[in-house]
Amino acid sequence: MRRVVITSLLCGVFSLAIGPFAGAVHAAGFAGVFDAGWSTAYYPQDSITHMHQRLHALGMDEVVLQYAAVEATHLYYPSQLDFLQNTQYKNNELFPKSIEAAKATGTRVWLGLYYNGDNWYTPPTAEQLDTLSARNLKVLEEIYALYGSETVVAGVYIPQEIARYYWDGLRDDATPEMLTKHFLKPVTEAAQAKGWKVMAAPFYNQNLESPAKLQSFFEKLFAAGFKPDVIAVQDGVGASDAGKHHAETSNVAQYERAVASACNQYEIEFWVDMELFRTDDSHALADSARISAQLDSAYAAGALKVIGYDLAVLGNAGLDSLEKWKLESSVEPASPDSTTGIAIPRETRRDFNARDEKSQKRELFLNGRLQNSRSLNENSQYFKANGAKVKQN
């Protein structure tokens, strides 16, 4: 959802200065970063390679190129598909340049697929989902023909952002099962059949969710046949509408833990897509204290990796800040427990195993059913207008 918030950041934001690196440090537990291409699509090869060098030095080796194409506006690879030929901005070298940068520096890239926001928040009908799926499959075929042999390509990213609210009773036919059958499952299985992993980054809004509802929604998606390799849930800490934050650092781990629990049941890797930007309209990098709190929450909830959103927010100055801060989460990445299958932070696993079985079962029960402390008007309506909005009736 927060993607439209960042679209105003165009060329010139990420000014890459050639110079010595600050040295190899670990960037606060970050494993990578999203690159939506708003600025980097305009850069020459040496600037993109330099950026990947800096990311690699910070331990941020997962670079998620958010889009292959955005309907009518942006194209980030050299496509011959008819429906992409009238794209307004054909910055079609970002994919090949990023792949060359990854080969030179040791990073790896995830290739975004086709994005079309029309009707996505209505939400779309089964027929509209079929069209969206068909176009994604054509883009998948084309980028695989171009880059399928590149070992630095980790997989593909589905840029359509899933949110429970639109698929859980907003319209009778808008169900997790329909979304899976007509879009998520065919696209995911087609990519996996080619040997590529699949990542998705759903979003949520604490004003409209409880952890229990969120967990149940993902369980329904996965049970219906949506089996990506990675779910990187957006933590929502940077997003806000009408002064209401989508998530708070004080309880974001409850929501992340709910998604992690659903992922662990279906053996899907749980990552966190962490919002680096401030909640105001500046789109500036948040302060180190907030970022540290977000990292701790993500890893405490069981994240295997944390990736930041996004490169336009960071820019050259943001990477300087990460090098200077040298932040490290106080919680190490989780790994699945051998008996429960639920990811447990390493530093707490010994204490967890020391508790009696009854206490463990009670904790696992509560982890999946924690309720949001905020009240929500039952008549609230959620709609899309240049970003998600909440309207109280």
- Residue linked to tokens 């990445």: 333
Q: So what's the pLDDT on residue 334?
A: 65
pLDDT confidence of residue 329:
75
Query: Rounded to whole angstroms, how far apart are CA atoms 76 and 367?
Result: 41
Smallest CA-to-CA distance from 199 within 75, 34, 345, 334 is with 34
Per-residue pLDDT of the chain (393 residues; tens, 9 = 90+): 554 333 333 333 333 333 333 333 333 489 999 999 988 999 999 999 999 999 999 999 999 999 999 999 999 999 999 999 999 999 899 999 999 999 999 999 999 999 999 999 999 999 999 999 999 999 999 999 999 999 999 999 999 999 999 998 899 999 999 999 999 999 999 999 999 999 999 999 888 889 999 999 999 999 999 999 999 999 988 766 766 767 677 789 999 999 999 999 999 999 999 999 887 877 789 999 999 999 999 999 999 999 999 898 888 888 999 888 877 777 767 665 543 444 544 333 333 333 334 333 333 333 332 333 333 233 333 222 223 333 333
* CA distances from residue 304 to 137, 273, 298, 300, 337 in whole angstroms, order as listed: 29, 11, 9, 10, 13
Separation between Cα atoms, residue 176 and residue 377, nearest integer Å: 24
Closest to 158 (Cα-Cα) out of 213, 110, 202, 199: 199
Q: What is the pLDDT of residue 198?
A: 98
C-alpha Rg value of the chain to the nearest Å: 20
Q: Kind and range of the H or E element at 263?
A: helix 252-265
Q: Using CA atoms, how far apart are residues 154 and 170, in angstroms rounded to an integer? A: 35
Half-sphere exposure (CA, 13 Å, Cβ side) for 137?
16
Q: Where are the alpha helices (DSSP H) in 116-251?
A: 126-147, 176-179, 185-193, 211-223
Of 2, 75, 72, the residue nearest 41 (C-alpha)? 75
Alpha-carbon gap, residue 321 to 324, rounded angstroms = 5
- Helix, strand, or coil (residue 52): helix
Nearest to 168 by CA among 118, 117, 219: 219
CA 40/CA 53 separation, integer angstroms:
14
pLDDT at 169: 84
Question: For 285, how many CA atoms within 13 A lie in the half-sphere containing its CB?
Answer: 22
Measured distance between the N- and C-terminal CA atoms of the chain, rounded to whole angstroms: 22
Burial classification of residue 118, based on how many CB atoms lie within 10 Å of its CB (0-12 exposed, 13-18 middle, 19 or more buried): exposed
Q: How far apart are CA 199 and CA 158, in angstroms?
A: 6
User: Under a CB-based contact definition with an 8 Å cutoff, are residues 66 and 3 in contact?
Assistant: yes
Locate 120 and state its tokens: 């996505």
Q: What is the pTM of this model?
A: 0.80
Q: Pairing between strand 108-112 and 62-65?
A: parallel
87: tokens are: 């794209």
DSSP labels for 213-236? HHHHHHHHHHHTT---SEEEEE--
Q: Which SS3 state, helix, strand or coil, does residue 89 take?
A: strand
